Structure 1
């Protein structure tokens, strides 16, 4: 049986509630909706690390953060850790990455035969890594540098913009356009006699929210949902959330964001820019599918679309992902479509992104990923039952989450505070019931489950 080609399209910092096909009518995602219609779209896909580096290490290794040990950005897996990209490579695939991977160092092979490296929009040589990436080199050819590094100095009302500005250079130089073009060019070079794996890593909709005017125009008259929050909410949440927002208020840097300037109008503009970037990437999803079709390989190609984590985007009076495990941060879009897989299937089962690698190896007819915590979803994708996972887990530093379909517990290891949400009565996670005596038995049960999960999976960590 011929191995399928695999195209993994991953965005950076995209929340799960950003696809029209899942009921979010303000979004303009026709190509992703079409991809979901030809496969499976998941409502409950969760990341195991809530920031870029740890999450991507989880995805590549199929392991939890405390198992693979790469707990921060600019850290990467030790040699000998599981890596399903290397498994595809040794299994006969030509492996190509174009765009963001967030490896450390940035040009680490990571199992790829070829890489075009594009890091964050605000990637800075010397701070994040010693070398320019390929997007730096592209801008250099035009006599330009990454504008994200100087927005906060060059735009007089930057604190009022909440990082929402418009792209200042020629539109074709926008980083996601650069990545999309290179992906299409790579597909044009595919040799039909060798199975191909392409990881297309778009850098949007990660901040700064600096999309071109043409993308913004699509949302000019669209009514957007406001952020989900309640007055004084931060007072009932763990102190690190408030401290993080206060620190941003005082910091002048590319990631500057001022809660004191977050008026409803400015929040709306910020969210509009974020959604517009997703629609711009959606265009490239369509172009990538068309490029595969033009090669006559559409009937033998598996497509996956997902993201490494989300963004609070003003929900809970917060921004980004660093200080919380709310669903807007840890719940991401996940679509799988391909030959022999069920069509137009919306899935409510809980899954973890560490399941991605084991699933792709299974679809490729290759051996399972030894030492992985993730599991294959193949049976469910083919129309059968999905694995009966009744909880998902995520970690960032000392903060650890367990989430079932009904409850979420977030513990802060060594601290007396935490978060507990009844997701049936409070799906927006506004009422923290961590200290509620009426929820004490649920908190105790989930705490015990966290302990057993950690102990069981820790035993698989390499010496």
Structure 2
């Protein structure tokens, strides 16, 4: 575990001298400090059942949505693991972090930055991560009281699965890596019930390879797996698409069962009443859309839109917000919910007001970046339109979600969209500072 940086220690000293108030925000019905349980999956798109997928079986994720707020327009800032995680852990956008690939250490530029769990640790919280929170290669860039990755957790590899892209294993749930992550999280919750905590569960699935016990694959007979709406082929290609989708869904249902163990522990330990639970993913993933893509390094909706559920004590249940939020907003949202002081320089905004009023006016746009084969693309999204620009000079793309939710018809050369195109170009040029702030009447809760 890394030592805390000198500026972090200085920050703590100043906070203590200032007599920081660490009570939760008004409206949660208690002056007790709120805990945080952050659940992060890898490569998860909006496949959970609560997002409208009639095939996928995720009863425990759906239960979280019933207990809190589901955000239908949540977007990552970069469609790749390391850049996205560095962004939401720092509260800064990829252009600021300098992390634009999986090879750049987050601390290369963010030398003295206080990451989200480190801030909670400074304010007296016990902090722990089990599994993948920061990108695996740079897990030690974030300091925790307990930090355990796959090397510490271990797993049992079914020998019949070696080298395969997907596999229905003969393992028990507790033999799989993510099964062990969940059980270790349960033990930490049991040990932490009498102290404020920030505990993070980082699941490796549904990132490939898609390995899960056979009983989860049995949930998805190939004949019941739909093809992408824009997929026109048949025969072997269609079979392969269905098989990959079934494996992805089986992996997700397996993780859902592990999340059920964690929710059950929260309930049995009496921690649900004072714990903020956040469920999300670092970015999405394509499952054969747009001509058979199985990748994340695009700016299509399947890649940059992520599931986001926030269950916070004292706020309405079963809420659904259609407003735009971004993963970079998690940092200020969690600090506000838990009554920690604001941090200067963050590049997201707290969406706590949306937890009470999910339909209220909010930020006008979300911004994302992708890099593939050294080609950099940037996008700006409003609640209706998507504009994607190739920094290397490729043709621009404009999609209208009202008439084309699959993003299959590029309207950039359509004269009827000339004004829209000009407006979206302006928004992208101005950037998040000019477009992502909520209306002036939105006020921080005290």
**TM-score interval w.r.t. the shorter chain?**
0.7 to 0.9
1:455 and 1:364, CA in 2 relative to 1: closer, same or farther beyond 3 A? Answer: closer
Range moving further from structure 2, 350-359 or 381-390: 381-390
Distance 2:405 2:213 in 1: 34
Unmatched 5+ residue regions in structure 1?
119-132, 153-162, 233-259, 458-463
**In structure 1, distance between residues paired with 2:82 and 2:306:** 16
Cα distance change on mapping 1:298 and 1:416 into 2, 3 Å? closer
Task: Rate the CA distance shift 1:318–1:65 in 2: closer, same or farther, 3 A.
Answer: farther
Measure how far apart 1:293 and its partner are: 2.0
Query: What does residue 38 of structure 2 align with?
Result: 8
The 3-state SS of whatever aligns with 2:350 is: coil
Secondary structure of 1:14 counterpart: coil
The correspondence for 1:38, drawn from 67, 73, 78, is: 67
Unaligned runs of 5+ in 2: 1-30, 436-446
Instruction: Label 1:378 to 1:12 Cα distance change in 2 as closer, same or farther (>3 A).
Output: same
Deviations 1:329-372 (A, max 9, x none): 11111111121111110111111011111111001100123211
**Distance (Å, rounded) in 2 between the aligned partners of 1:25 and 1:297:** 31
CA contact (8 A) 1:60 1:84 kept: yes
Seen in structure 2, the aligned counterparts of structure 1 residues 418 and 59 have a Cα distance that, compared at 3 Å, is same
Corresponding position: 1:372 with 2:346: yes
Q: Tell me which residue corresponds to 1:426.
A: 404
Higher mean C-alpha displacement, 260-269 vs 86-95: 260-269
Q: How far has the Cα of 1:318 moved from its partner?
A: 3.6
2:212 partner SS: coil
SS in 1 for 2:140: coil
Shift of 1:440: 2.9
Q: Is the 8 A contact 1:167 1:210 kept in 2?
A: yes
Q: 1:385 to 1:3 in 2, by over 3 A?
A: farther
TM-score by length of 1: 0.80
Residue 165 of structure 1 pairs with residue 167 of structure 2: yes
Please tell me whether residue 151 in structure 1 is matched to residue 163 in structure 2: yes
Name the counterpart of 1:114: 146
1:13–1:146 CA distance, 2 compared to 1 (3 A)? farther
Offset from partner CA, 1:309-336 (integer Å, 9 cap, x none): 1111101124343441111111111111
Call closer, same or farther: CA 1:454–1:21 in 2, change over 3 Å. Answer: closer
User: 1:441 and 2:419 equivalent?
Assistant: yes
In 1: Cα distance, 2:353 partner to 2:346 partner: 18
Are 2:125 and 1:93 aligned? yes
Which structure ranks higher in relative contact order (CA pairs < 8 Å, sequence separation ≥ 6)?
Answer: 1
Partner of 1:218, secondary structure, is coil
The answer to whether the aligner puts 1:215 opposite 2:245 as a matched pair is no
**Partner Cα separation in structure 1 for residue 73 and residue 274 of structure 2:** 27
Preserved contact between residue 127 and residue 146 of structure 2 (Cα < 8 Å)? yes
Between the aligned partners of 1:443 and 1:94, the Cα distance in structure 2 is 49
Match of 1:410 among 365, 375, 388: 388
Contact preservation (8 Å) 1:50, 1:321: no
- The offset of 1:393, in angstroms, is 0.6
Match of 2:10 in 1: none
CA distance in 1, matches of 2:124, 2:430: 39
2:11 aligns with: none
Query: Cα distance 1:263–1:106, how it changes in 2: closer, same or farther (>3 A)?
Result: same
Indicate whether 1:198 and 2:199 are aligned.
Answer: yes
Distance, in Å, in 2 between the alignment partners of 1:326 and 1:355 is 21
Whether 2:247 is the aligned partner of 1:273: answer yes
Tell me the distance in 2 between the aligned counterparts of 1:134 and 1:172.
15
TM-score, normalised with respect to structure 2: 0.83
Deviations 1:65-97 (A, max 9, x none): 111111111321421235221111111111100
Matches within 5 A, 1:126-145: 133-135=151-153, 138-139=154-155
Aligned residues: 398
**Preserved CA contact (<8 Å) 2:34 2:338:** yes
Provide the C-alpha distance between the structure 2 equivalents of 1:107 and 1:22, rounded to a whole number of angstroms: 30
Say whether 1:24 aligns with 2:34.
Answer: no
Task: State the partner residue of 2:431.
Answer: 453
